[in-house]
Every structure is written in structure tokens, then in C-alpha cells.
A and B are shown apart, each in its own frame.
Chain A
Amino acid sequence: MPALMMQPEAIREQARTAFAEAGWPSRRSEAFRFTPLDSLAAQEWPLSTPGSQPEPALLDGPRLVFDGGQLVQAASDALPPGWQLKPLQEDPVGLAWLAARIPADHPAQLALASAPAGWVLELAAGASLETCLNLDFIGGQPDRAAPSLLLVRAGAGSRAVLAEQHRSKAGLAQPVIGLDLAVGACLDHAKYQQESAATRHLGLSVAELAENCDLASFVLSSGAALARCETQLTLGGPNAFARLSALYLGKGSQHHDITTRLAHHAPDCRSEQLIKGVLDDAAKGVFQGQIQVAQNAQRTDGQQMSRVLMLSREAESNTKPELEIFADDVACSHGATIGELEADQLFYLMARGIPKEAARSLLVTAFIQEALAQIRNPQLAGWLAGVVDSRGQG
């Protein structure tokens, strides 16, 4: 039975069955080859309970607080006019929309099955909001999972700015976020993954853009012991534009995975992706980027570039770009570079009296700047530039 016809409990039950069959993906699963999760199967993952200390907002604008994955309305601000919030349980179409976009063997099925409540955030057609709406994910407990379901529906012709911030203290964060953009909607979106070193982050975002939609999305991933920030996006109507860019900063024994699947299902759409990573110490980085161009998606323009800067010989990087093109009139390209700091650039800076560490830091900052320049919305750009600056990366 197609998911669209199913009632919430049936959808949840189906997800439970799907996860029970597939389990945590191992190295043998192509999509998780570089980020196997089967070690998570060694234990049960009971749900986190909310009730952690309130955290001050780090970003201007109204905020929704998710504690252990669950929305805490008492800690959240009133939504600005234009936005509306309702339980996903009361919106079977919304739940089915999310369910239909999660692959059967994907561990997000567990989040779909077990998240205690989900929410639909709806922006009225034609609404135009310059103020950023801040989704703040806090809390989390050791050996507990914090699944979260949220569907953002942007009405036709609406404009919005959305910031996600993930700063759990512990456990397994599993945010599943849907972005459903109706005709002509325009969304600026940024996600900052800064979970604690005791946290694992498995984020899946699924997005669908209708005709003439415009999405500029940016992921900054710097926290967690292991983080997978995955986006599956479909350009479903003609003349849509999507930018999916990301920056990951790995240190210590961190594992950062940026996975994108970008499907061009309509003609005359454009997509851009610049994914940059800086890996120090024994950090591991993974970028998997798939671009699919359906047969009818003529005149597709899809560009993808991955660049990794290795600051240590112990660091490891895996990059897997994939193009699947079934249309004949397309301009698609992908490229990937992995390199160290250039010796001649370091020498040039040092020959001007700049100490080695400062010279390295200047070059790393320069590398990072190109990624941050991808953030289109000034408030989001200023926020993440400030974050990177105060981290003193390099």
C-alpha cells in the first residue's frame, strides 16, 4: 500500500519493520560504506527524556527548543506571524510525505518509528519573513537516542530564513527534517552541528523543491564524535535552484560524513555544491555526493566540487562523487581535490616574518573562507563566520 494512503500508526509500524529488517548499516551497505554504524547495534537505545537545563539562545530571532529531540514549547518563543506549528500525528499527509522520502534500509527509519512526536512547521503562502527562525536542538543523555521529526512546509511564494543548531550533551541525535517547498518558495537554511564530543549525530534532511523554488542551504559540521549530515534533495519542478554547500572541521578522532543525493527530476533546474573539509589529527572525513538527472530533466546544470585540506598525516579522507545522467542536454560537473597546505605558500608567508603556526592558520582560514562565502543570507553568514572565527580553527 503506498505510504500516502496510510494512517500514522501504520506508517510508524512500517518503519519499525523496515528497521528491524535492515538493522544498523554495516560497511557492506553502499550508502554507509565509509560510515558503518553496526557498532550501534551492540546496545539498545532507549529514548532521551527532556528536562535538561535551558540553554541561552546563540542567535537572534524566535527560537524553537528541542530537548532530547522533543519540542519544549515552554522554552520556545512564540512563532512570528506567518508560521504555524502542528503535531505531525494530526497531519497524516505530512508524515506520509516524510516516510516516502526515507529509503527503506536507512537508519532514519528508526527515528521515524520511535520519535515520540513530530511537528509540522508551516509557512503561509506568500509570507515573507526576513527574521531567522532558530531550531535549537539541546539536551541528550548518554546511551539514549534523541530522534526528532520535523517537516517544514513553505507555502507558494513564501520566503524564509531557517537556522538549525545541534548542541546535544550526549547520546545519539537523530534529527529527520523535511523541507517541502511549494511553487516559488525561497528558503535560506543553515545547519550548525556542534554536538558534544560524547554525542553521535545522524541527521537526515529530505527536501523537495517545486517549480521556481530557490534553496540555499549550508551545513557546518564541527562537533560530535561521529556525525553524518545527509541531505536528499529533489528538484521536482522546472526552473528551481538548489545550493547545498558544507564545511566540516575534523579534529582528534572525529568522524565527519557529508552525504548528499541531489535528484534533478524536472527540466531547467540548477544545482550547486561546494563541500570543503579540514581534517587534523586522526580525524576522518567522508563526502559522498550523488547527482541524478532524470531523462526529462533537460537543460540541467549541476555542479559539484569537493575540497579537502589535510593538516595531519594521520587524517583520512574518503570522497565519492557519483553522476547518474539519463538526459542528453545537461551541463554537469564534479571535481574532488585532497591536499595538504602548500609548502610554497607557507614559505611565502614565513619569509615575511609570519610565524609558522600563524601562517598555517592564515592558510586554513583562507581555505575555509571560500566555503563560508557560499552562505547567501547575511545573518546566517555572519553567524557561522563568527562561530568559525571564535573556534580559532587552524
Chain B
Amino acid sequence: MAALLEIRDLQARVGETDILHGINLTVGAGEVHAIMGPNGSGKSTLSYVLAGRDGYEITGGDILLNGVSLQEMEADERARAGLFLAMQYPVELPGVTVMSFLRAAVNARRRAQGEAEVDQLGFVKLVRAAAGDLGISDEMLKRSVNTGFSGGEKKRFEILQMALLQPSMAVLDETDSGLDVDALKIVSDGVNKLRERKRGMLVITHYQRLLSHIVPDRVHILSGGKIVRSGDKELALEVEENGYAGIDDAA
């Protein structure tokens, strides 16, 4: 299977602190991989390094998307190349309306692919339909981005963006945090709908419970900035049972 995302011996630091110490990971098209790990293991750092956030510096190794290195690309170029990060803490943008934001994002992607900008009316219909599936009301679509959204609404809105942007590789950072059981189900259903042959996903989570809704093909345990174990979905259950301490010892 062709490698969609290839992380090669990735080392990175934030400020003066080295956090990632050589991560190797390959996600093929159509695969869903999970990264689990205790607090401070480098999970969120990995997601920001992948997305290209300022201040997250790659000190060694490389990240390839469809065989192309992301290292020299800014965050916006990576997104237009097909990478999507569903954020753990979506940011409020008061004064930026949901619709103008979504249109700007979708048009940026379309322009990069040499496509015409979206037709305004058709786009509104498209957004409404996708939003309805995620239980996002028309009223929410009229607000400013993430402004006054509950924790669950923010996460659903992340998935709506993913549905509209149709990335080739999606990274979901702690998408389950702050969700109650019902919201978890809605979000997971939304993600599962987007699973398809061409798309890869990297699901980053602390807990196993998300992975019983979004069932991964592979599970990796991140600890101390390294992947210490990899396995199939059973590995997530083992973590649930024994905690991370046991896994660490085994590694």
C-alpha cells in the first residue's frame, strides 16, 4: 500500500526543550492509526509539528505527505496540500463569521487545486447539509467562529470543517476531550463517515473510549517522545486495562 503520511525519525523541540526523539510512523491510504500516550508524552507536540505551528521546530528527520516533504511548508501550505488538524482547543474568532471562514478555507483549497471558487448559494446549501448531519444548527452557523460554542459544539465544528475540506490526511488531536457520551457518538459518526479508501487518519487520544467508536487499524503508544509499542486495536484495550505504566515497562 502506498504511504500517504510518512514520519521519518522525527525529532522536534518547543523553545529550548526537546520533545520528540525520533518518531517513525507510516500511515497508508485508507488507514486509521491511533496514537495513545500519557500526559506529557508528546502527543500534542506531534500534532502541532505535523500542522506546522510556529515555535514547533523540527530538529531532525522529516515528514512526507504523498511523498512530498512538509518541512519547509508553512501551516497554510500544508493544509492546502491536504493535511487537516482537528484541534484539541479550537480557537474563538470573534467577528469572523462561520460562513465567511468556511468559504475562505474552502476557496483557498480550491484555488490551490486550480478549481474555481465555490458558488455562494450552492455552498450555503452544502454547509447546511453537512452541518445537519453533525447536529450543528443554522443558528450556530450564523455566529462567529467558535465564539460562544460549548466544548462539544467546538469539536463538532472541527469535524464539519474536515467534511468540507476533504483532506487526504486528517490528524485528530484529543477530539474526545470534553465530550459527553452523546456528543462523542455524534463526533465519531461524523469521523467514521469520512473514512474512505483514499484518506488517512491519525487519531491522537489519551483514552481508549474514542477508539471503540473510531476503530483503528493500528495503535501506537507514544511515551517520552518516542513510539514505544505498536499493535492492532487490542493494544488500546490493554492500555485501558493496565494503564500506561505497564506498557512503558514492557518497552
- Which residues of B in the span 93-125 have a Cβ within 8 Å of any Cβ on A? 93-96, 100-101, 104-105, 108-109, 112
A356 at the interface (CB under 8 A from B): yes
- Which residues of B in the span 112-158 have a Cβ within 8 Å of any Cβ on A? 112, 144
A41 at the interface (CB under 8 A from B): no
B218 at the interface (CB under 8 A from A): no
- Which residues of A in the span 345-392 have a Cβ within 8 Å of any Cβ on B? 345, 347-356, 358-359, 362-363, 365-367, 369-370
Q: Which stretch in B36-44, B83-91, B189-197, B233-241 binds the other chain?
A: B83-91
Q: How far is the CA of A349 from the CA of B105 in the complex (A)?
A: 8
Residues on the A chain within 8 Å of B85, using CB: 351
B210 to chain A, nearest CB (A): 21
Q: With A352-B161, A353-B112 in contact, is A347–B54 under 8 Å at CB? A: yes
Pair A356/B93 contact, Cβ less than 8 Å: no
Residues on the B chain within 8 Å of A343, using CB: 54
Contact for B90 among A348, A355, A359, A365, CB less than 8 A: A348
Contact for A344 among B76, B91, B94, B104, CB less than 8 A: B91
A-B contact list, 27 entries, CB within 8 Å: A342-B91, A343-B54, A345-B91, A347-B54, A347-B75, A348-B93, A349-B101, A349-B105, A350-B52, A350-B74, A350-B75, A350-B79, A351-B84, A352-B79, A352-B165, A354-B108, A355-B108, A356-B74, A356-B76, A358-B108, A362-B93, A362-B101, A363-B96, A365-B95, A365-B96, A367-B95, A370-B94
Q: Which of chain B's residues has its CB closest to A343's CB? A: B54
Q: Which of chain A's residues has its CB closest to B109's CB? A: A353
Pair B76/A359 contact, Cβ less than 8 Å: yes
- Which residues of A in the span 323-345 have a Cβ within 8 Å of any Cβ on B? 342-345
Q: How far is the CA of A351 from the CA of B89 in the complex (A)?
A: 13
B23 to chain A, nearest CB (A): 20
Q: How far is the CA of A202 from the CA of B87 in the complex (A)?
A: 49
Q: How far is the CA of A345 from the CA of B144 in the complex (A)?
A: 13
**Number of A residues contacting the other chain (C-beta, 8 Å)?**
23
Q: With A363-B96, A365-B95, A369-B95 in contact, is A351–B104 under 8 Å at CB? A: no
Q: How far is the CA of A76 from the CA of B85 in the complex (A)?
A: 59
Residues on the B chain within 8 Å of A349, using CB: 76, 93, 101, 104-105
Q: Which of chain B's residues has its CB closest to A359's CB? A: B76
Q: How far is the CA of A367 from the CA of B94 in the complex (A)?
A: 8
Residues on the A chain within 8 Å of B90, using CB: 348
Task: Return the CB mask of A176-212 against B: 1 if under 8 Å, else 0.
Answer: 0000000000000000000000000000000000000
B51 at the interface (CB under 8 A from A): yes
Q: How far is the CA of A349 from the CA of B146 in the complex (A)?
A: 12
Contact for B76 among A355, A362, A363, CB less than 8 A: A355
Pair B108/A353 contact, Cβ less than 8 Å: yes
B53 at the interface (CB under 8 A from A): yes
Q: How far is the CA of A309 from the CA of B101 in the complex (A)?
A: 21
Q: How far is the CA of A363 from the CA of B94 in the complex (A)?
A: 9
B166 to chain A, nearest CB (A): 12
Q: How far is the CA of A355 from the CA of B161 in the complex (A)?
A: 17
Q: Which of chain B's residues has its CB closest to A357's CB? A: B76
Q: How far is the CA of A348 from the CA of B102 in the complex (A)?
A: 12
Pair B87/A366 contact, Cβ less than 8 Å: no
B143 to chain A, nearest CB (A): 13
Residues on the A chain within 8 Å of B161, using CB: 352
B80 at the interface (CB under 8 A from A): yes
Q: How far is the CA of A366 from the CA of B84 in the complex (A)?
A: 24
Q: With A343-B54, A359-B76 in contact, is A366–B93 under 8 Å at CB? A: yes
B81 to chain A, nearest CB (A): 9
Q: With A348-B87, A351-B87 in contact, is A366–B144 under 8 Å at CB? A: yes
Q: With A343-B54, A358-B108, A362-B104 in contact, is A353–B165 under 8 Å at CB? A: yes
Residues on the B chain within 8 Å of A342, using CB: 91
Q: Which of chain A's residues has its CB closest to B76's CB? A: A350
Residues on the A chain within 8 Å of B95, using CB: 365-367, 369-370
Q: Which of chain B's residues has its CB closest to A355's CB? A: B76
Apart from A354-B108, A363-B93, list 8 A-B contacts with CB within 8 A: A345-B93, A347-B75, A353-B80, A353-B105, A353-B109, A359-B76, A365-B95, A366-B96
Among B80, B85, B91, the most chain A Cβ lie within 10 Å of the Cβ of: B91
Residues on the A chain within 8 Å of B94, using CB: 366, 370
Pair A353/B93 contact, Cβ less than 8 Å: no
Q: With A344-B91, A350-B79 in contact, is A358–B104 under 8 Å at CB? A: yes
Q: How far is the CA of A391 from the CA of B165 in the complex (A)?
A: 30
Residues on the B chain within 8 Å of A358, using CB: 104, 108
B130 to chain A, nearest CB (A): 15
Q: How far is the CA of A358 from the CA of B80 in the complex (A)?
A: 14
Residues on the B chain within 8 Å of A353, using CB: 76, 79-80, 105, 108-109, 112, 165
Residues on the A chain within 8 Å of B91, using CB: 342, 344-345, 347-348
Q: With A365-B95, A369-B95 in contact, is A351–B79 under 8 Å at CB? A: yes
A374 to chain B, nearest CB (A): 13
Pair B75/A351 contact, Cβ less than 8 Å: yes
Pair B96/A354 contact, Cβ less than 8 Å: no
Residues on the B chain within 8 Å of A352, using CB: 76, 79, 101, 104-105, 108, 161, 165
A216 to chain B, nearest CB (A): 21
